[in-house]
Every structure is written in C-alpha cells, then in structure tokens.
Structure 1
Amino acid sequence: MKELIISIKPPDKILKGAGIPNTSFIPSYIYKLNIELINNSNQSRLCSFSSTLGNGIRYLKNMEHTGPDNIVDKIKIVEPCEDVYNNNVIVFANNINLSPNSTNIITLDIGLCDKYTIDCIENTGDKISHKEKIHYYGHLICESYVDSCSAVSLACDYELIVKCDADKLQKGESTKYYIHCRTGQYDMARSVYVRCVLDNGLEFIGDSSNLQPEKVYSFNGKTIIKWNVGSLQPSEIKRIGYMVKVKEDIEQGNVLKSKLNSNCVNNSTYTQCPSSCEHLLTVE
C-alpha cells in the first residue's frame, strides 16, 4: 500500500453550463469535485499538492474541507488568465501537514464552460462536443516522493438519467420509475426519443405513464417501451414517470435490469447526442 495518495473524483458526466445564471428555476448544473489527500503512514508528513482541472472547467466557489488537518488556509485557487497563457483552474497548497493515518477531502463547486460562454477563457479550443473527455490531473509531493493521479468526466450537451422509488421488491409488488431528459445551458435538443428495455421479470403497467408511449412491444421475452419526447430548450428538463410490476414467476434473489437509451439532435451543431443509463432491481 502506498503511504501517500492523491485522488481526484469529478462527476462521471457533466452537462455544459457555467453555473450561470444560478437561479431557483433555471438549472445551473453546478457539480461537486473532490480532491482526496491520504496519509497511510504512522508519521506526520509535510507535503505539497497541485491539481489541474480540465479544459473548460470553471471554479464556482464553495470550497469545503473535511479531515483532521487544518489545511484550508493554505489552499490556493489559480483562475485562468490569458496574460500568462493559462486556461486551466489550478488548485494547490504548499507545506501542508498531513497527520498519521489521515484522509483530508477538499470539495469544490465546478461548472463546464465552452467557447460560446460570455467572457470564457477556460476553454483553450473550439466548442466542446458531446461526450468529449474532460481530463483532470493531480500530484502530491513529499520530499523526493511524488504520487500522481488522473480522472475523466464526459462533457454532455444532453443527458438521460433514471431514478426509482425502490431498489428491492417482492414478487407481485410494483414501483415507479422516473426518467429525466436534460439539456445543458447552451443548446436546444430536437427529435428527442427515449427507449426502455425491461428484463423478462418486469411487467410494464399500462396507462401508468404521464407521457403516452409511442410503442410498447415484446422482443426475446423483454418489454420494449419507446417515447417521443419532442424538443428541449436550453436548460430544460422533461420528466417521464411510469410504473412496473415484478412478475409472480420470478425467483427470489434475481436482479432485474431496466436499460434505457436516448438520442436527440443538437440544434446548433446538427450532431447526434446519444445517452444511456440503467437501473437494477433486486427481488427479495
């Protein structure tokens, strides 16, 4: 086991939006980024660290710290600056003391800009495309020892997520799923559709959806449901709710999967924006 470890934990997917405007009725798509500093040794360590955030990432304040060591006052945030040709947010601290067997976590609010954001200097290139990888890097230094890490987020123009009222059900019980179709702050999506594939042990409850499905049919024992969602304006969220039931002939302990995929056209770039997700339901 390494004695000193740094890790960066950004969101897996991040919708494009700089957190502006941050209002109660327009989604601002502010995400949390964690930087973890771990000392696994039985001795205090005097260290320095630096983390370079990805292309297009903007720091949106609200830095928080959890852990045994008083390191917050030494943490600095370097904002992008054209004068020194720096387009990345850099988080760093010098000469911080990490106590024995400790974990310190630094949490930041971030958003993802693109080249069309007003006064944007975070993005070094062109407009960030759907599913482009955003890279993060970190280094923890103690004397001659260096631990390094990296992480990746996927930038999104459009995102599909699913939530459910339950993760475990008994035979014959029903639950409700919630699909969220979301666009970023900069682009309109058109021709949005959602398709759901239910495992053989799940039964779709007819007339339970708030949006009437275009098609419901069976294929290889699975139930296929397709919705036409239409168009979404920038920062718009459309929600689909529907109910499913666990069939009586399914065995206890089975894990039933609901797989969802969606696609749409970015009305600005005329490109496809596919997205997918899934939910697992355990039969008790």
Structure 2
Amino acid sequence: IDELEPRLEVKLFHRRRSGTALTSAGEDLYERARSMQHFADDIERSVRARDQREEGLVSVASPDGVGSLWVAPRVSTFLERNPRIQLSLDCLIGPAAPDSQARPDITIALDKSRAEIGDDTSTLATLHYVLAAAPTYVETYGLPASAASAAGDHRTLRQTGQISQQEVWGKRATAVASLAFAFETNSSAAMVAALRAGAGVATVPTYLFTLAPELTLIGAEPSTPIKLWLIVHREARNAARVQRVAEWLKSIFDTRVHPWFREEFVAPENFSAPQEPKKPVRRSKS
C-alpha cells in the first residue's frame, strides 16, 4: 500500500490510532478490484468447464437442512466412488464472505428464480412439511389434535429460514412468524436436535421421519409442499466432474427409492410401500 499510493498519487487509507479506513478513492479501487477478481474467476471457470477429467473441485450450495441432514450423510459413498473429486458444500447459514462473488457450480435451491440465463435447471424433489413432536413431548403434554391446537396450546419450535424465505413459503411464512415460539434457530440441525429431545412441536419435512422414525405426526391437515430445484451453472455444466456430482445429487433424491420426495404427499407410515415408476425429470434452460 505504501508503494501503491505514491504510484497512483492518491490516498487510499485514513490512518488513525484506532486503525485504518478506506478513503473514497480506496473504496472505488476496492470495488474495481473485486470486479476484476470476479471476471478472473469467470475466466478460470470457463476454462475449467472444458475439462473432461473426473477430478478436481466442485462447489455445491444447498439450503441448510437439505445439505446437513440429507446430502452430507451421503457424501462418503460418493467420495469412495470418486476419490479424485473434491466437494465443497455451502449450507448457506451465515452471510457470504464479502469477497465471495463466484457462483457455485451447482445450487440446490428452493427458488427457481435463482437460476440465470443459460443455466441447466431441473426439478430435484418436493419437500412436504408437516407438524411433528417427539414421544417424550407427547407423553408429557399430550398430542395436539390439530395444527391450530399445536400453535395455540403447545410449545412451538421454528427455523428462521421458514420466515425469511417469504418468496418460497408465502402465507405459511407469515403464519410461522406470528407464532409465540418457545425456541428458534437458524440451524436446521439445532432445531431437529431440540425437537427430538422433546422441546416442543415443529414444522419439518417428512424426510426427517427416515432419520428420526420415533417422531409423531400431528394432525390430518395437508402438507405444505416446497419444490427443490437443481441448478447447474452455465459455465460449469460441461465439466465431467460437475456432471458426475449433478448425477449423484439426482440419485440421492430419486423418488423411486425415496418416496418422501415425490410430488404427491406420501405419509410416513407408507414410506416402505411399493411405489410407482418415477416420471422423467423435466429440464429447462433458464
């Protein structure tokens, strides 16, 4: 910096005893440098996309619950079969790093509009959300007769993503936000741990019943279906390693094997029943 400022004939930092701060010229230079880095990342990604070797890094972004509770437990099998591929999984809990502008190679999204022109977009699964409670909670406080009863007379737990993702949850987000909650968290894993420990009643996807079969389904109300989309970045979609990861992700959400991801609701007690053949996945270019 001491060499750059005289060369540019401009002051980039205010230097104070408490630390340093960018000047207006420094902020302008910083933004331009970020743009240059983003452009360089795009060039690198474009070149890497031509690579037909099934090795190297593949970045995946996923909603917290899906990433930590469903994808991560299945990574071991993928890595055993593809030892030369490295997976980077971002579960999108906290804010993105200030200097992180590059899009992931693959995005598992709750909102199709996150796709950009040229991306490969396909339906990955449907998540069906229902109310559930642990046996210990039911034994102590009784089984809520309905969703309304659960909301009014019982302790409720909530994952804050169900409130902030208004474009996905719609009116349900408003309803969840209005609840007098006993516990809330931005971590799906934390909410599931609290739920299984009997802390209260929560809205959860039905695939959770395969991980926590002891849970009790509450009420007979229809589930809330949320579409899950697979978006492959346009500049990465032709790379062999990215294609391999995309194929693997589709396989672990295959409704022939995992009926809880079907478009129509399948009750947890029917998860082991024979299922109809899966219809072909519809693909589109965004």
TM value normalised by structure 1:
0.26
Which structure carries more relative contact order (alpha carbon 8 Å, separation 6+)?
2
Q: Structure 1 or 2: larger strand share?
A: 1
TM value normalised by structure 2:
0.26
